[in-house]
A and B are shown apart, each in its own frame.
Chain A
Amino acid sequence: MTPVLDLQAVEKRFGAVTALSEVDLTIDRGEFFALLGPSGSGKTTMLRVIAGLERPDRGRVLVEGREVTALPPYLRNIGMVFQDFLLFPHKTVGENIVFPLRMQRRSRAEQQEQLAWVSRLVRLQGLEERYPHQLSGGQKQRVALARGLVSRPTLLLLDEPLANLDRELRREMEVEIRRYQRELGIPFVYVTHNQEEALTIADRMAVMYRGRIEQVGDKLDLYMRPETRFVAGFLGHPNRFSARVLEIADGRMLLDWNGVRLRQERRFETRAGETVELFLKSERIRLCRRPDEAAALPNRVPGRLQDAIFKGVFADCFVTLNNGAELVVAATPDAAGIPRESPVTLAWDIADAHAFPVEQEGGGS
């Protein structure tokens, strides 16, 4: 089956800045795909290349097997939802929504039919005669989505569509957008810098950094098995520290972290005596008040609770370990009730931390 979108070795430079380098990506039918990355990572440029708003310097863009690399945006039938909605201020909601249909010279009857359908889908009925400046943020968002979907494009691109909405509305729209995607079966490519948003909304995702795709795959895979230091450092809320390799056996490593022994999977070539860097997600650490609670887990480190900050669904606990290091643990909210200076034990499984060879140049966060 040909993928809906196929980027092959796409490269784009702006002067001396490389916005995209050697990007390969395929997106399949009916997929909800998120592009996640910090600002300046090239994700918006990638979206603009897919839409035809930027022409890549090298590489090819294929939509449904057809090469569109040099095709201008108005011949691609790709829908897009822009960051600040970008509704046409001089057109009513209805006129904004049917704009793509008018450009495709569809009949008036068909325009009205599609308008009715899409207004129902995004729950905008009754607002067709209003002008954009008469709408709330959430309503504008729905109009932008309706305009993107009305012509049933081969692909819908969403560029940080929720960045300008407040928290409540964002939650609501995340659910709504997922619903549209399921009902229509059109592949969505969703760009965001917000990992919670990406993890909530998408099925598959790619993490971008400095114009490259660091890792692509199922979202859980990226979260649980990061393949690069950047992804390990970017997803979740990891603690980061270095340890020395003591022994290697059976694809496992025994590490020394300032006098504490740790067991860790070995996923790259390394030798005893070398130093590795560990990323340990704070939400994967168990905080135990009694040492025996952690008996089943291979890595156990005693320490003292310094502070616990109640955050609602969890509590951030700052723990000073007996080896002098400090770790942040996202524990259940009742941890906020533990008295300060209480002795605690932190424990985690072999797969919860991710080790990488130490890099000279400090990349990642």
Chain B
Amino acid sequence: MKNRGLRFDPRIQFAMLALPGAAFVFVFLVLPLLSIVVFSFWRTERYELIPEWNLENYRIVLTDPTYLTFLLRSLVMATVVCLASVVYAWPVAYFIAKHGGRYRLVLVLLTAAPFLTGIVLRVTALQQILGPIGLVNMALMTFGFEPIEALMYSNVASAIGLVYLWIPFMIVAIYLSLLNFDFELLEVAKVAGARPWRAFLEVTWPLNWIGTAIGIVLVFVPTFAATVTPRFLGGPNGSLFGNILEHQFGATGTWALGSAMGVVLFLVSLAFILLIGRTIDPKRTGFTGIGR
């Protein structure tokens, strides 16, 4: 009888339900991530990791101008893509949330649907439009115009591609935030004398900042680590930090250096997340929590 009662204890039921998944993530994600932190302080010799502790890998990643260029370029790329996504996603999410009515769910699912077809196929499709022999340039040439250089294998093409890939996250995040936003507050602001833009900046934006911030982080993380998009759309000067990172695990087999790059990639993303997190004032988000 004691035993049965124990099994009914809510804390034990909670643990039985929540721990398997949490333990799974810990073992198959957190431990591997920790392992590359360890490896990043080792060195590689002829495709083998040698457990000799040193800081050489970090010295290379953080001082070699080539790697620094890639790091910086990735950072700029991720920032630009985030900004472009925010600017584009906001009016779209706002429109769906406010005017979508009973079609809201369909409209938002339609923006998110392509995401599930996988990045390789999406980049393939985009390449057929933007690439050097893609639809746009072929059309221009067919009608006797010069092809647009910027669209062929360039950082601009990469940026367009990354927005194409990740804007669904931004839209869904902002949309979900707007779903819980009371649009009548805007009327209140306008009655109090605020013009539409002022009302947006004073009421809508701050109350939905947490959703926007989540969207920004969700776009930043994969963009900053992008490999496939720059490879197939970016051209000769389009390689990003992710490409140089994969390189260490492919042709060169410099595992330790690659691990250090992975750690740097993770730490920069983490720093960005924390930076964005600092801008959230829990008392001013209007967030009331989930569950009961």
Contact = CB atoms under 8 A, between A and B. Distances in A.
Interface of A: 52, 55, 70-73, 75
A55 B8 CA distance: 9
Interface string B1-13: 1101111110000
Contacts of A52: 8
6 A-B pairs with the lowest CB-CB distances in the bound complex, closest first? A70-B5, A72-B8, A72-B4, A71-B5, A72-B5, A70-B2
6 contacts: A52-B8, A55-B5, A55-B8, A70-B4, A71-B5, A72-B5
Nearest to A74: B8
A25 B114 CA distance: 63
Contacts of A75: 4
A71 B7 CA distance: 10
A71 B5 CA distance: 5
B9 A71 contact: no
A70 B7 CA distance: 10
A52 B4 CA distance: 12
Nearest to B10: A55
Contacts of B4: 70-72, 75
Query: Which of B1, B2, B6, B8 has the most chain A CB atoms closer than 10 A to its own CB?
Result: B8
B3 to A, nearest CB: 10
Nearest to B4: A72
Give chain A's interface secondary structure class.
Answer: loop
A73 to B, nearest CB: 8
Contacts of A55: 5, 8-9
Interface in B1-36: 1-2, 4-9
Query: Which of A55, A70, A71 has the most chain B CB atoms closer than 10 A to its own CB?
Result: A70
Interface residues of B, number: 8
Contacts of B7: 72
Nearest to A70: B5
A45 B257 CA distance: 60
B65 to A, nearest CB: 57
Contacts of B8: 52, 55, 72-73
Given A55-B5, A72-B5, A73-B8, 13 more contacts: A52-B8, A55-B8, A55-B9, A70-B1, A70-B2, A70-B4, A70-B5, A71-B1, A71-B5, A72-B4, A72-B7, A72-B8, A75-B4
Nearest to B2: A70
A73 B7 CA distance: 12
Contacts of B1: 70-71
Contacts of B9: 55
Nearest to A67: B1
Contacts of B5: 55, 70-72
Nearest to A73: B8
A351 to B, nearest CB: 47
Query: Which of A71, A72, A75 has the most chain B CB atoms closer than 10 A to its own CB?
Result: A72
A52 B7 CA distance: 13
A71 B3 CA distance: 9
Contacts of A72: 4-5, 7-8
Nearest to B6: A70
Contacts of A73: 8
A70 B1 CA distance: 8
Contacts of A71: 1, 4-5
A10 to B, nearest CB: 16
B126 to A, nearest CB: 45
Interface in B148-196: none
A52 B5 CA distance: 10
A298 to B, nearest CB: 55
A73 B6 CA distance: 13
Query: Which of B4, B5, B7, B9 has the most chain A CB atoms closer than 10 A to its own CB?
Result: B5
Nearest to B7: A72
A75 B4 CA distance: 10
B7 to A, nearest CB: 7
B196 to A, nearest CB: 42
A120 B6 CA distance: 40
A75 B1 CA distance: 10
B11 to A, nearest CB: 11
A73 B10 CA distance: 13
B10 to A, nearest CB: 8
A71 B6 CA distance: 9
B232 to A, nearest CB: 49
A318 B188 CA distance: 42
